[in-house]
Structure 1
Amino acid sequence: MSAKPLVFIDGDQGTTGLQIHERLSGRGDLRLLTLPEHDRKNAARRAEAINHCDIAILCLPDAPAREAAASITNPAVRVIDASSAHRTDPLWVYGLPEMSAAQSTRIAQAQRVSNPGCYPTGAITLLRPLVQAALVPADYPIAIHAVSGYSGGGRARVEAHEGPCALDAPAFQIYGLQLEHKHTPEIEQHAGLSHRPFFLPSYGSFRQGIALTIPLQLRHLPPHTTGAQLHACLAQHYADAAHVEVIELADAQTMAQLDPQVLNGTNQLRLGVHINERRGQVLLSAVFDNLGKGASGAAVQNLDLMLHHAATK
């Protein structure tokens, strides 16, 4: 790799691509390559660009992302795919550094990295350590409810809320009622679940941010499991994670509400364990920016891991 690696953003006019470009544009340790508007749909020009760069970041719908990855003939090119096209593909490294002690190294060394989905980022960081510790059974009937800012729906939904017809945009909208949301297999696989979780997403009339919750009944967990044990497991797992924080147990117990926008503009993820001992119920929560740790921030975090590894080779 050259002294200043060349990073190609394919699809830099979409919501995620624009955010990645903004995060990288002021940096002096890399060069950015984007295509002029008249070349963006030119397959030959895009193939030339992707084969000329050091690392490509694909900010495309699933089908074009697969086509872009297939167009790579230069074995030195490394890829971060921000679409959902490769998130359950065993040939791609899943780009969630905090999921295990070895994952950052795997991402750093990978040729192909699939950036996590926004909702799965919250669900997997909550569930995976608890399932691995056998505090939550892999076959527990998991139910995940989440509300995202409307930017999670891409340019069309942003236009609906910010364009000339914004007054007609719904204040709140639940979707995915067919229970076939494309993020569900990703959550099942990377959280270590043995059965498909129930996942119901929604959009609010705010631009960005996510609040995701997962209810648990203590009576359905292994005998004598407590909410404090669940919290301790998460706190230990993320003790050294720079971008994931676990709310102190006492603070979580006094919280009256979750603000999905509180971490907007950051790459941080905040996890909580809210316990009602008398009722035998626990609520797991995750709050983060769907355009930050849920998309562009995560992509830049993975890019930095890959760049650092290349610089030290």
Structure 2
Amino acid sequence: MTAKVFIDGEAGTTGLQIRERLEKRRDIELVSIAHEKRKDADERQKLLNSADAVILCLPDDAAKEAVALIENGKTKVIDASTAHRVAPDWAYGFAEMSNDQRDKIAASRRISNPGCYPTGFIALVRPLVEAGIVPRDWPLSVNAVSGYSGGGKSMIAEFENTGAPEHTSVPFRIYAMAQKHKHAPEMREYTGLAHGPVFAPSVGRYLKGMLVEVPLPLWALKAKLADVHGALARAYEGERFVKVASLEEASATKTLDPEGLNGTNELKLYVFGHDEEARLVALLDNLGKGASGAAVQNMNIALGLDEGAGL
């Protein structure tokens, strides 16, 4: 029997990518609201309650409203918004984060999809905190650049609608300078840090792809480059979608293209530098492992399907 899946908000950037990953699969049945009933609250509630899994691709308030409409105890929800990412009764949907995270996702009816920036940051930092290499109260910073699709429809329009009043031609820009970015809480929560990092996000003139960087003064941490690499390699040994480049590969790498893993659900981690200082870098597709790919992976785990199906 196939599982019934409803994408609430399938017309958005993430929703479209999820649908593309799911529509050719034979182990699930995609259900959609009829065009003429898009504003019919009763029809939407009916679909939310009839599905085995619902993937929410909505703004935060709308996501909370959708969850409130689900009255049965069977529908599993994967929420791609930021509304529930640090909620205690929701499983955090980064399956590779810890040894028992897949079990938590599989057992939960409520799963929050991670943010794209936090996926890279948590992947780099959590194993180092757990290994005692980075103290929980260490002052970390994270620098990152994303393609403009990370800003949703409004930012995509800003970069692509040539001739429109809001169109921009800048090649690169920083943003969120007030240091109140919506991804900050999960960065702290799921790394075990006592304080969140100083987060410096930016956007470039390309559609998708992401680099997340964490600099480490190894001289102050009294750690060696091999210690850092070893902790990361052990944390993700045998993982299908998260890989750690060898120190030899990192040493031979002269540059990294933020679009290098586009169209995949992969996340690749690099440890650059020497025994005095390290530059940790995560490479991923902000619409792949950073959004739609992670949502499909979480749905697969939640429904007991092949984790890599559609990915």
Give yes or no for TM over 0.5.
yes
Distance in 2 separating the partners of 1:235 and 1:52: 42
1:162-198 C-alpha deviation (Å, 9 max, x unpaired): 2233873321110010000000011000111111211
Read off the aligned partner of 1:217 and give its amino acid letter.
P
Q: In structure 2, what is the equivalent of residue 83 of structure 1?
A: 81
Structure 1 residues 58 and 136: alpha-carbon distance in aligned structure 2, compared to 1, 3 A threshold: same
Read off the aligned partner of 1:160 and give its amino acid letter.
E
Distance in 2 separating the partners of 1:85 and 1:37: 27
Q: In structure 1, what is the equivalent of residue 153 of structure 2?
A: 155
**TM-fit CA distance, 1:26:** 0.2
Q: State, as a whole percentage, how many aligned pairs show the same letter.
A: 47
Q: In structure 2, what is the equivalent of residue 175 of structure 1?
A: 175
Equivalent residues of 1:109, 1:309 under 8 A apart: no
Distance in 2 separating the partners of 1:40 and 1:267: 30
Equivalent residues of 1:264, 1:292 under 8 A apart: yes
What secondary structure is seen at the aligned counterpart in 1 of 2:226? Answer: helix
Read off the aligned partner of 1:87 and give its amino acid letter.
R
Q: In structure 1, what is the equivalent of residue 302 of structure 2?
A: 306
**TM-fit CA distance, 1:220:** 2.6
What secondary structure is seen at the aligned counterpart in 2 of 1:168? Answer: coil
**TM-fit CA distance, 1:41:** 3.4
Is 1:238 aligned to 2:236, yes or no? yes
2:277 to 268, 277, 281: 281
Equivalent residues of 1:95, 1:114 under 8 A apart: yes
Is 1:25 aligned to 2:23, yes or no? yes
Q: In structure 2, what is the equivalent of residue 12 of structure 1?
A: 10
Matched ranges for 1:28-67 at <5 A: 28-67=26-65
Matched ranges for 1:95-134 at <5 A: 95-134=93-132
Distance in 1 separating the partners of 2:116 and 2:5: 23
What secondary structure is seen at the aligned counterpart in 1 of 2:270? Answer: strand
Q: TM-score, normalised by structure 1?
A: 0.94
Distance in 1 separating the partners of 2:121 and 2:38: 34
Distance in 1 separating the partners of 2:256 and 2:30: 37
Read off the aligned partner of 2:75 and give its amino acid letter.
V
Structure 1 unpaired stretches of 5+: none
Matched ranges for 1:199-218 at <5 A: 199-218=199-218
Equivalent residues of 1:270, 1:287 under 8 A apart: yes
What secondary structure is seen at the aligned counterpart in 2 of 1:191? Answer: coil
Q: In structure 1, what is the equivalent of residue 193 of structure 2?
A: 193
Distance in 2 separating the partners of 1:242 and 1:192: 24
1:255-299 C-alpha deviation (Å, 9 max, x unpaired): 22121000000000000011233xx11111000000000000000
Q: In structure 2, what is the equivalent of residue 268 of structure 1?
A: 266
Distance in 2 separating the partners of 1:145 and 1:40: 40
2:290 to 287, 294, 305: 294
1:223-258 C-alpha deviation (Å, 9 max, x unpaired): 3x1111000110111011100010110111222212
Read off the aligned partner of 2:216 and give its amino acid letter.
L
Q: Judge which range, 159-168 or 44-53, deviates more.
A: 159-168
Q: In structure 1, what is the equivalent of residue 309 of structure 2?
A: none
Distance in 2 separating the partners of 1:86 and 1:165: 38
**TM-fit CA distance, 1:309:** 6.5
What secondary structure is seen at the aligned counterpart in 1 of 2:260? Answer: coil
Read off the aligned partner of 1:212 and give its amino acid letter.
V
Read off the aligned partner of 2:174 and give its amino acid letter.
I
1:93-127 C-alpha deviation (Å, 9 max, x unpaired): 00000001111111112110000000000000000
Equivalent residues of 1:99, 1:125 under 8 A apart: yes
Could you say what the CA RMSD is over the residues aligned between the two structures, in angstroms? 1.4
Equivalent residues of 1:108, 1:309 under 8 A apart: no
Q: TM-score, normalised by structure 2?
A: 0.95
What secondary structure is seen at the aligned counterpart in 2 of 1:242? Answer: coil
Distance in 2 separating the partners of 1:191 and 1:72: 31
